[in-house]
Structure 1
Amino acid sequence: MKSALITGANRSIGLETAKQLSEKGLFVYIGSRDLAKGEEVVKELIQDGFQNIKAIQIDVTDPESVLAAKNMVEKEQGKLDLLINNAGVLGALPQEPSTNSIESIQQTFDTNFFGVITVTQTFLELLKKSDSPRISNITSGLGSLTLHSDPTWKYYAIKALSYVSSKAALNAFTVTLAYELRDLPFKVNAIDPGYTATDFNHFNGPGSVESAASFIVKHTLTDENAPTGKFFSNDIEDESEESPW
């Protein structure tokens, strides 16, 4: 049985992704900063008929927490097949470049960028034991510098410095990691689930969590011929579903 770890999975898109992976027969670890909240969610899922789901405490900004999670997965599974770096924060608003404080920017990067690197580097040992390891970094269309330079883009006016720059940095990590692992069976991609209605954005997005999660699953549960080092977006109306960097 393949195993998956999803960070920030006790609610919204992460939770729905966990449900869909469970339905496909994977063992899914629901990563949650607050273990009690994660366990409560798992209890409800089991009551709803879901199987092979377990809550795991992981705070991506706390290296000791990440290492403890890695040790648990190693003890129980021996390896990890899918890592979905889903945990993220918007950061305090407003985020005007002329006034956005360094402290606020650093706090956003701690989760959206450094946290992803910490989790990925820590779990890389277990992922290398998989026959088909996958790393999906959940990003945003707002991380595309190309789109941010296009006045015709529908989200062109959203220039939130902390969030935008953290996701652009995450995209850069994705590209460089994919290149480093290019000769191994890894597939490492940045996945934008699209502008989705969640508590993250006060339910303003037009997309559903079901569609967002389905998109993540589609580009994570891939075969050996799938691409790596790509940026896929649920908001791109193109057959390739690729976003410009």
Structure 2
Amino acid sequence: MIHGTVAFVRIAVVTGGNKGIGFEVCRQLAGSEVTVILTARDEARGTAAVKKLRELGFSGVIFHQLEVTDGSSIDRLSDFLKTRFGRLDILVNNAATRGCELVDDPSFGPKPTMEKFSGMDGHQRVEWMLRNSQQSFDATKEAVQTNYYGTKQVTEALLPLLLSSDGRIINVTSGFGLLRFFRSEQLKQELNDIDRLTQERLDELLDAFLMDFAAGTVEAGGWPTEFSAYKVAKAAMNAYSRLLARRHPALRVNCVDPGYVRTDMTGHSGLLTPEEGGARVVAVALLPAGGPTGAFFDAAGEASPSFV
């Protein structure tokens, strides 16, 4: 009790919270006296993550199963939040897939050890990732469904709860989602023109990308050719975030690039620790009321809203 009233405790949902950046976001939010609903596809892994956090002294963490591409799973989470809390203050959309498979490429030598990675700069590490990545249509489609449509479905379902509070939506993005990776100037202009862009047009563009990927015409279509699905899906999510910020000015909707982090997604080739990447996300989640919206944050802070 504080002066006869109950202290206000913020409620946060973190998708993909059982490991890596998501786990760190959960830990750091819980350390800031936020009640955290840690979500994960796999119940056993999610439960284990919550147990680990509680053993570290973070009692205000709750597990709830969530598959971001499954409407019924999203509805169950929404119903839980309505019944248990009646509102949502922070949504961190972190769940994602890499859009390609990491493979051991004998021509590039064996997978580097952590010691060998430490002798490589960022460019060399990304080159290793590229040389040891194999793109497929199934992985590409999964990335679009998870990284864009999954994020969108979860967000739209939880909007009423966020609008009943000082809602914050933080979409974990990547420098790979910047429009400079697109070869087509027309695509760049469309994705950057928030005054004309619509969600329906975003869907059409993603359909066109998948058709081009299936036909082997990604380069001719003006799309990114390296880590294609990841870059396209993150660029679409960045654009959607700006559309959402314009549609709901009372919300704070921002994108955060946590940096090149050592996680399973990067084959542990990253330059930053999950703690460092998670801290960037949490800093934006906890910005004071009335802060920026529709913005992109990276290591330098708030960057150009054009995401170019």
TM over 0.5: yes
The residue number in structure 2 matching 1:153 is none
1:128 offset after TM fit, Å? Answer: 1.1
- Displacement after TM superposition at 1:44 (Å): 1.8
Give me the whole-angstrom Cα distance separating, in 2, the residues matched to 1:233 and 1:147.
17
1:19-168 paired onto structure 2 within 5 Å:
19-93=27-101, 102-130=137-165, 132-146=166-180, 159-168=226-235
Q: Secondary structure at the match of 2:146?
A: helix
Measure how far apart 1:10 and its partner are: 0.4
Partner AA of 1:168 in structure 2: A
Counterpart secondary structure, 1:137: strand
Inter-CA distance 224–127: structure 2 relative to 1 (3 Å threshold): same
Secondary structure at 2:293's aligned position in 1? coil
User: Match for 1:188 among 253, 256, 263?
Assistant: 253
Query: Cα offset for 1:7?
Result: 0.2
State the secondary structure of the residue aligned to 2:285.
coil
Q: Give the distance between the partners of 1:40 and 1:225, measured in 2 at CA.
A: 36
1:177 counterpart (244, 249, 252) = 244
TM normalised by structure 1 equals: 0.87
The range that moved more, 119-128 or 102-111, is 102-111
Inter-CA distance 147–102: structure 2 relative to 1 (3 Å threshold): closer
Q: 1:108 to 1:139 in 2, by over 3 A?
A: same
What's the CA shift for 1:100?
A: 5.4
Q: Quickly say closer, same or farther: Cα 1:177–1:15, change in 2 above 3 A.
A: same
> Where does the alignment leave 5 or more consecutive residues of structure 2 unmatched?
1-8, 103-129, 184-223
Count of matched residue positions in the alignment of Structure 1 and Structure 2: 229
| 1:241 shift after superposition | 3.9
Over aligned residue pairs, what C-alpha RMSD do you find? Answer: 2.1
Deviation at 1:93, TM superposition (A): 4.0
- One-letter identity of the residue aligned with 2:29: L
Partner Cα separation in structure 1 for residue 18 and residue 293 of structure 2? 27
Q: Which amino acid is 1:89 matched to?
A: T
Aligned residues with identical type, % of pairs: 34
Q: Paired residue for 1:233? A: 298
Contact 2:173–2:256 at 8 Å: present in 1 too?
A: yes
Letter of the 1:212 counterpart: G
Write the deviation string for residues 43-76 of structure 1: whole angstroms up to 9, x where unpaired: 1211221121011100001010011011111111
Judge conservation of contact 2:262–2:268 (CA < 8 Å) in 1. yes
Query: Gaps spanning 5+ residues in structure 1: where?
Result: 150-156
Structure index of larger Rg: 2
- Name the CA distance, whole Å, in 1 between partners of 2:225 and 2:276: 23
- For residue 213 of structure 1, report the CA deviation from its aligned partner: 0.9
Aligned match of 1:209: 274
Give the Cα–Cα distance (whole angstroms) in 2 for the partners of residues 80 and 86 of structure 1. 16
Deviation at 1:200, TM superposition (A): 1.2
Q: Displacement of 1:158 after TM fit?
A: 8.0
